[in-house]
């Protein structure tokens, strides 16, 4: 079992280093990304020499979702100060739209296992938030299970030639189809038992597959972050699709103690849950004929949650007026985006536990 991780020469400090097993990941037979195509994509670099070692995904202005093995070495989570997060770039060395941020804290899944890459997810909390621009922006998380045969995009600065262990200076991407769980287990039976939280994607004929992207980078399906590049055996090998961490499976863990994050729910048929009813009830008093943002604020004086409509202009959100408020005991949506048309509605929201004081 080879995980498409960071290159093997990436010491973090004299005591702690990233571990890599076998071949690192790469985009082979991919296409150069264009400006603003993947504004959520960030590069994780070593703080002392600005060398790229893994990819990551902006899920809010101050949070980055990446692979657990990217931030793990010598039996420990690596030190936050050893990482610089860089956004707004296509080339690793470009400076025009570049933003660099330090890391304040690293939260790795408590059941992460480096040997088999189970629960291969981690969240980085940045020292200072990114400034959202057309080149730098968060991506919504998928609120639905991966759907087989969906064509998704994987981007990264990984190797472009199998035999040449040099990262690409350009951000590259490739289209990949998601395989069914049944098919993944059959194809990867000698590599992994594909437990819950793992998914696979790639072409059966090889040439392009799920290993063609930096570890920690994202699989984007229909505009939502659906998977995190985790592992695989070889690269672009026939009948060996790459392995991803399933974002939907880890939603509750990702959203724990998170700030404003967006989650896409494309199916609202099961509205029996009180939290969905509350969301839809609140939307009744909103004008859904234009794009808008709903922000939930907890008032310190009580357990009352106010919902304010905000104008979506350029990259800034400015509250216009208080429209409606509801009391919730456990859950609510931090952010809701509405489609411009009245039908069909597509709700993008973050449902999370609210710890009442």
Question: CA 87 → CA 28, 40, 94, distances in Å?
Answer: 23, 8, 10
Q: Is the dihedral of CA 85, 87, 92, 98 positive or negative?
A: negative
The whole-model pTM stands at 0.71
230 annotated active-site: no
| Confidence at 257, pLDDT banded by 50, 70, 90 | low
Amino acid 169: pLDDT: 85
Task: Give the highest mean pLDDT range of 107-111, 200-204, 347-351.
Answer: 107-111
Q: Is 168 a catalytic residue?
A: no
What is the average per-residue pLDDT within 199-215? 71
Alpha helices in the chain (DSSP H): 181-187, 251-255, 274-284
Torsion of CA 48, 53, 59, 65, to 10 degrees: -110
What's the CATH fold of domain 39-126?
Thrombin, subunit H (2.40.10)
215 is catalytic: yes
Q: What is the pLDDT of residue 114?
A: 92
The catalytically annotated residue of 3, 69, 109, 249 is 69
DSSP state letters, 328-344: -SSEEEEEEE--SSSSS
State yes or no: pLDDT of 213 exceeds 60. no
Q: Is the domain covering 150-248 a CATH 2.40.10.10 domain?
A: yes
Residue 168: predicted pLDDT: 80
Q: What is the pLDDT of residues 172-204, one digit of tens each?
A: 999 999 999 999 999 988 889 999 999 999 988
pLDDT confidence of residue 235: 65
pLDDT band at residue 332 using 50, 70 and 90 as cut-offs: very low
- Annotated active-site residue in 6, 120, 214, 249: 120
Pairing state between β 242-246 and 198-201: antiparallel
The domains of the chain are located at 39-126, 150-248
- pLDDT for 204 equals 83
Question: Choosing from 20, 168, 215, 334, which is the catalytic residue?
Answer: 215
């Amino acid at each position: 079992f080879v995980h498409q991780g960071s290159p093997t020469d990436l010491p973090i400090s004299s005591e702690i280093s990233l571990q890599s097993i076998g071949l690192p990941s790469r985009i082979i037979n991919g296409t150069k990304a264009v400006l603003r195509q993947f504004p959520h994509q960030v590069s994780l670099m070593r703080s002392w020499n600005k060398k790229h070692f893994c990819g990551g995904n902006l899920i809010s202005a101050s949070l980055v979702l990446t692979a657990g093995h990217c931030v793990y070495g010598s039996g420990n989570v690596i030190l936050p100060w050893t990482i610089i997060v860089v956004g707004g770039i296509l080339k690793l060395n470009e400076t025009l739209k570049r933003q660099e941020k330090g890391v304040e804290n690293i939260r790795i899944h408590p059941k992460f296992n480096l040997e088999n890459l189970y629960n291969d997810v981690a969240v980085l909390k940045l020292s200072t938030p990114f400034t959202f621009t057309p080149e730098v922006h968060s991506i919504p998380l998928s609120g639905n299970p991966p759907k087989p045969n969906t064509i998704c995009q994987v981007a990264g600065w990984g190797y472009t030639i199998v035999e040449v262990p040099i990262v690409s200076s350009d951000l590259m991407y490739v289209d990949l189809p998601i395989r069914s769980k049944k098919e993944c287990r059959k194809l990867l039976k000698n590599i992994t038992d594909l437990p819950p939280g793992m998914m696979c994607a790639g072409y059966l004929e090889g040439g392009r597959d799920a290993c063609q992207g930096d570890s920690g980078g994202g699989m984007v399906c229909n505009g939502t972050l659906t998977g995190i590049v985790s592992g695989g055996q070889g690269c672009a090998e026939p009948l060996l699709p790459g392995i991803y961490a399933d974002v939907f499976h880890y939603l509750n863990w990702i959203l724990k103690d998170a700030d404003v994050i967006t989650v896409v729910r494309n199916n609202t048929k099961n509205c029996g849950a009180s939290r969905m009813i509350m969301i839809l009830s609140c939307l009744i008093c909103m004008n859904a004929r234009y794009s808008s943002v709903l922000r939930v604020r907890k008032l310190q004086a009580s357990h009352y949650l106010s919902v304010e409509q905000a104008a979506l202009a350029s990259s800034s959100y400015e509250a216009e007026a208080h429209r409606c408020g509801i009391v919730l005991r456990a859950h609510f949506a931090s952010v809701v985006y509405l489609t411009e048309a009245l039908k069909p509605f597509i709700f993008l929201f973050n449902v999370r536990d609210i710890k009442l004081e």
